[in-house]
């Protein structure tokens, strides 16, 4: 049990680092105007999501959706 717990924590960290690096690369590729527009869209979307009760699963879904949108916009 302990070994599994010890393995899952670093794995989550690695995944987070990968997501952050992907986001950073995509942001660098996007123009400043596009980025501003995108931030406005994300803010609007997050506000609507925050109105609902945020469970861990919904936050994961939001991040996944944002990542999908980022990868699609390339």
The pLDDT profile of the chain, 74 residues, written as one tens digit per residue, is 556 655 666 777 888 888 888 888 776 776 666 767 777 777 777 776 566 555 556 677 777 888 888 787 65
Q: Residue 64: its pLDDT value, please?
A: 84
Q: Using only C-alpha atoms, what is the Rg of the chain?
A: 15
Report which of 71, 59, 55, 72 is spatially closest to residue 19, judged by C-alpha positions.
Answer: 71
Cα–Cα dist 41/32, whole Å: 14
Q: Residue 38: its pLDDT value, please?
A: 74
pTM > 0.75: yes or no: no
Q: Residue 42: its pLDDT value, please?
A: 78
For residue 69 the two structure tokens come to 């949108």
């Amino acid at each position: 049990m302990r070994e599994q717990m010890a393995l899952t924590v670093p794995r989550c960290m690695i995944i987070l680092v990968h997501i952050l690096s992907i986001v950073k690369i995509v942001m660098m590729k996007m123009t400043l105007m596009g980025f501003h527009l995108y931030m406005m869209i994300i803010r609007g979307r997050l506000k609507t999501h925050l109105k609902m009760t945020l469970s861990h699963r919904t936050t994961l879904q939001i991040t996944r959706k944002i990542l999908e949108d980022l990868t699609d916009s390339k």
